[in-house]
Amino acid sequence: METSVAPFREALESLDRIKADNIFQQVLVKRTPIEAVEQVVVPALEQIGAAWHAGEVALSQVYMSGRFCEELVDKTLPPSDPDRKHQPRSAIVVLSDYHDLGKRMVYSVMRASGFELFDYGRMDVDALVKRAVSDKIRVLMISVLMLPSALKVREVCSALKKNGADVKVIVGGAPFLFDSELWKEVGADAMGSSASQAVTIVERMMGELQ
């Protein structure tokens, strides 16, 4: 593993932007931008995500780390850069409820890991299904905080199926963390327990969708 990961992660967790930026610039001296992202940024964010899941770091650290890395990656690897991942058309949304921190964290971590995706903001079931079908989305990430919203994922999945859409649905958010069976119950294809896990799941699905 790249030796810069641990100090980079430490700098992110302590919200020391200057130190994190310095470490990243040093890595760029010997690596290409995409290598720096894949070998330093992605593993650091993965470790922070796993640490959050284990109760070792807080949401504020995950959010601020993701936001900072997103800015860093945008500077070194602009959205039009050909090295950005060739990926299935993806989108992220907050379903029904009004809590968007989870979505923002996943969005930042995905972009900081080289992915591009549509940000649908907040939507209800019908509008979401219509938009996902019209955009020909292949991977749909749904974030919720409230249990009633989590239960509505079932309606999304069955409506997508009825419309013949070939979409993998990944869910995340508190209700799924508190009930490990819930994602299957609502018909999702996977559940991410942290923002960085979304990256791992999408990468796995890229293989399945090809």
Partner 1 sequence: MTSATMTSMQRVLTTLGHQEPDQVPLFLLTTMHGAKELGMSIEQYFSKAEHVAQGQMLLLEKYRGDCVYPFFHASIETEAWGGTTLFSPEGPPVCGDPIITRPTDIETLSSPRVADSPALQKVLATIRELKQQVADTVPIIGVAISPFSLPVMQMGFHSYIELMHEQPTLFDRLMQLNEEFTVEWANAQLEAGATAICYFDPVSSTTSVPRGLYLKTGQQVAKRTLARIKGPTATHLASGRGLSIVSDIADTGTAVVGVSALEDLAELKKAAAGRVTLLGNLNGVEMRRWTPQQAELEVKRAIAKAGRGGGFVLADNHGEIPWQVPEAVLLAIRDAVARWGRYPLTWAADWKD
CA 58 to CA 8: how far, in whole Å?
Answer: 17
Position among 64, 125, 133, 209 found at the interface with partner 1 (CB under 8 A): 64
Q: Among residues 173, 166, 130, which one has the least CA distance to residue 151? A: 173
Quote the longest CA-to-CA distance of the chain.
51
Distance CA 156, CA 7 (A): 42
Select from 24-32, 36-44, 83-91, 141-149 the region that touches partner 1 (CB under 8 A): 141-149
Q: Which of 74, 81, 166, 179 binds partner 1 (CB under 8 A)?
A: 179
Separation of alpha carbons 143 and 88, rounded Å: 19
CB of 165 to partner 1, least distance (A): 26
Q: How far apart are CA 40 and CA 8, in angstroms?
A: 8
Q: Does 128 bind partner 1 (CB under 8 A)?
A: no
What is each CA distance from 180 to 137, 172, 183, in whole angstroms? 26, 11, 7
Cβ 156 to partner 1 shortest distance, Å = 16
Between 166 and 185, CB nearer to partner 1: 185
In this structure, is the dihedral angle defined by the CA atoms of residues 158, 53, 6 and 15, taken in order, positive or negative? positive
Instruction: Point out which span in 73-81, 92-100, 159-167, 195-203 binds partner 1 (CB under 8 A).
Output: 92-100
| CB nearer partner 1, residue 34 or residue 64 | 64
15 binds partner 1 (CB under 8 A): yes
* Token digits of residue 174: 């508190």
Please report whether residue 32 would count as binding partner 1 according to CB under 8 A.
no
**Sites of contact with partner 1 (CB under 8 A):** 15, 55, 57-61, 63-64, 96-101, 104, 146-149, 151, 174-175, 177-179, 181-182
